[in-house]
Amino acid sequence: MALKVVKFGGSSLANAKQVLRAIDIVKADSRRTVVVVSAPGKRHPDDIKITDLLYQWYVLVKVRDYAPAYRVWRRIKNRFYDIVTNLGLELDISHEFVQIRKNVREGASEDYVASRGEYLMAKIMAKALGYEFMDAKDFIRFNSSPGKNGRLATFDRYYNEPLTHSLAQMLLANKCVVIPGFYGAMLDGATIKTFSRNSSDLSAAIVAAALNADVFEKFTDVPGIYAASNEFVENPQSIVSATYRELGELAIDPNGVFHPEAMYPLQAARVRTVILNVNDPSAPGTIIYPDEQAPKLPSGKILGINARRGFSAVTLYRTAMNRQIGFGRRALEVLEHMGISYDHFPSGRDTVSLVIETGQLEGKRERLVERLIGFCQADEVKIEDEIALISTVGRAMRNTAGVAARLLGSLAKVDISTRVIDQGATEMNIVVGVANDDCRKAVNAIYDEFIRE
């Protein structure tokens, strides 16, 4: 029987009503035998996520601000008690809260505390479904601290064996399981380590990849991945299908529905992903294919548009730069030594531009210019701010004449000039830089040209 790994995000588990929807979804398909859950999210815009409350509580306890800590702790407990009560479960979780406080008194880490939202939600969901609870610390292991982006070291080499063995034994025994997302353990199996924030998708992706699942389903509160951010486009369409590589070129989806780190294990294991709306699970959603499995699209079809404001173009001028061996390497070396990353690196015969998030230049502008002139022997270096980058992505752009002309023509129609133009070697992404103030108008012009029906 085909295996589905199912992931429910925090918005899908925010209260008992949402949890009941999730339970109905799981029970509606017997192939949904592995469920991964986040901690309860916001119930309304002014609410606070459980994970944020746990972080708050930990800080207050550590600084011994006990009265506010007690109030936050009571909010955390009441959220979970309300879910259990409204689900009508015979489940006593009071001892779990006692154990958490005891462990913190004995020196448990912030990562341990932050992980308890997923841990408790998985306990509740397992009871409600009649599934087995499996603690993520028993099979997702970090062999080093994952760093700022939360990625595991030697990612695809060591999680498969313990994960596959323990889960496979459960599934062979015809047992269904619920697993908490967001965390695992160090190699000692006891020290809890979390991923970066909002990365329970990565936990679920690891599980789906290790089990060679047929499908990974993520349920969220929107109807799939939008073709453009609703920050810029009113009522954008959902993307019907995409590949992992296209989403990578799109700088993942504009609204942050799917965590970028989750793509790697799913693509490597050739697992298809479906993003679905927990409030309307019968709606089509967005299907994400491994690159080689993607259906053919009409010539020139655009997948989506992503826009980000707040960039600067650092442009180096050097006569006959194309004859200077190592010029580009030296420019990038300057960035490396100054701890600056870049997004794009368009160049001409006598110029090269480094497109950088403006915030990274704070306090470094003069030194950067001096080093680029000195180390690269540039004739001149100029910095232009207030740039927005707009990525237009689609695998069907490959070998299709006229796509770039249409894109630039759509901007010309609304009197927008470009500061940067860059097309990647994959031929599935065209990036243009425009003035920050023109960003919304530019996105809508491109959307109208390629997507709006």
E strands in 159-245? 177-180, 183-186, 192-194, 215-220, 241-243
State both tokens at 205: 């992706």
pLDDT of residue 262: 84
155 has pLDDT over 60? no
Between the CA atoms of 102, 107, 112 and 116, what dihedral angle is there, to the nearest 10 degrees? 20
344 has pLDDT over 80? yes
171 has pLDDT over 90? no
Q: What pLDDT band is residue 150 in, cutting at 50, 70 and 90? A: very low
pLDDT of residue 444: 96
Which run of H or E residues covers position 53? Answer: helix 50-62
pLDDT of residue 311: 96
pLDDT of residue 291: 82
pLDDT of residue 162: 53
pLDDT of residue 26: 97
CATH numbers and ranges of domains, the chain:
4-293 (3.40.1160.10), 304-450 (3.30.2130.10)
pLDDT of residue 174: 65
Query: How large is the average pLDDT for residues 410-421?
Result: 93
pLDDT of residue 322: 82
Which amino acid appears at position 277 of this protein? N
**Average pLDDT over all residues of the chain:** 88
The whole-angstrom separation of Cα 371 and Cα 392 is: 34
pLDDT of residue 95: 97
Query: How large is the average pLDDT for residues 267-281?
Result: 91
Q: What is the pLDDT of residues 318-331, one digit of tens each?
A: 998 888 888 999 99
Q: What pLDDT band is residue 245 in, cutting at 50, 70 and 90? A: confident
Query: How large is the average pLDDT for residues 163-175?
Result: 63
Q: What pLDDT band is residue 399 in, cutting at 50, 70 and 90? A: confident
Q: What is the pLDDT of residues 279-290, one digit of tens each?
A: 999 888 999 999
Q: What pLDDT band is residue 154 in, cutting at 50, 70 and 90? A: very low
Query: How large is the average pLDDT for residues 210-234?
Result: 89
341 has pLDDT over 50? yes
Which amino acid appears at position 47 of this protein? D
Q: What is the pLDDT of residues 210-221, one digit of tens each?
A: 888 899 999 988
Please state, for a pLDDT cut of 90, what percent of the chain lies above it.
59
Could you tell me the CA-to-CA distances from 392 to 222, 306, 355 in Å, in that order?
A: 22, 7, 17
Specify the 3-state DSSP secondary structure of 401: coil
- 382/196: higher pLDDT: 382
The whole-angstrom separation of Cα 285 and Cα 324 is: 51
The whole-angstrom separation of Cα 446 and Cα 61 is: 51
395 has pLDDT over 70? yes
pLDDT of residue 67: 96
Q: What pLDDT band is residue 159 in, cutting at 50, 70 and 90? A: very low
Q: What is the pLDDT of residues 195-208, one digit of tens each?
A: 877 677 888 988 88
The whole-angstrom separation of Cα 386 and Cα 408 is: 20
The whole-angstrom separation of Cα 167 and Cα 189 is: 16
- 199/79: higher pLDDT: 79
Residues in the chain, total:
453
Q: What pLDDT band is residue 139 in, cutting at 50, 70 and 90? A: confident
pLDDT of residue 24: 97
Burial label for 22, CB within 10 Å (0-12, 13-18, 19+), is: buried
Cα 354 versus chain centre, distance: 25
160 has pLDDT over 50? no
* CA atoms lying within 13 Å on the CB side of residue 415: 1
